[in-house]
Amino acid sequence: MIILDTDHIVTLKYSTDEKFARLAQRMADSEDQDFVTTAITL
Residue 21 makes CB contacts below 8 A (sequence gap 6+) with: none
For residue 38, the model assigns a pLDDT of 85
Q: Global pTM? A: 0.79
- pLDDT at position 2, please? 96
Q: What would the pLDDT profile of 1-42 be if each residue is shown by its tens digit?
A: 999 998 999 999 999 999 999 999 999 999 999 999 988 755
Note the pLDDT of residue 42: 55
End-to-end C-alpha distance for the chain, whole angstroms: 18
Query: What is the C-alpha to C-alpha distance for residues 23 and 4, in angstroms, rounded to an integer?
Result: 11
